[in-house]
Amino acid sequence: MSSLAVGSAVTSVLVAYATKYGSTQEVADAVAAALREHGADVEVRAADDVRDVDRYSAVVLGGALYYFRWHRDARRFLTHHRVALARLPVAVFALGPLGDSAEELNEARGQLDRALAMAAWFLPASVAVFGGRLDPDRLRFPDANPAMKKVPASDLRDWDAIQDWADSLPEALGLDA
């Protein structure tokens, strides 16, 4: 295990997530665990609870895709922390497709790309899209409509792909000592 450092200080990374039903938080926790294995000091927080990012060396921001849009709290995070994020290396991930075809994954990546394009100033160091999770029994209004209740439960998060992406982040974010 290598230790991440910027100068002589241990690297501090924020992993912020925007989630509605908890799936994205689970992925954020897995990303944080991988970064810790690489020696980073990592804090995991809900995106809407973060007040400033100035004390971090890098940021990872994750959000779910709902109805063709990246989670509102992830979009707000980019807007609210615009000045600081323009100076920091940032990686982004999204969870979204509920089908496992390449076409659905590409469509989800397009949705994320459109959301990121709204912040033209923002150039993430790494971007990833992973399959999503759906548990119809946990849905709340307005998601809990009769049509959604008929959709079978699924979990398309590829934990190996998530781990591989998380392991690539120290280099992508320029944190390797």
Q: Which of 22-31, 42-51, 68-77, 141-150 has the lowest average pLDDT?
A: 141-150
- State the DSSP H helix or E strand holding residue 88, giving kind and residue range, or none if neither: none
Domain ranges of the chain: 5-172
Predicted pLDDT of residue 8: 35
Asked if the model's pLDDT at residue 3 lies above 50, the reply is: no
d(CA 45, CA 25): 9
Asked if the model's pLDDT at residue 68 lies above 50, the reply is: yes
CATH class of 5-172: alpha beta
Which amino acid appears at position 41 of this protein? D
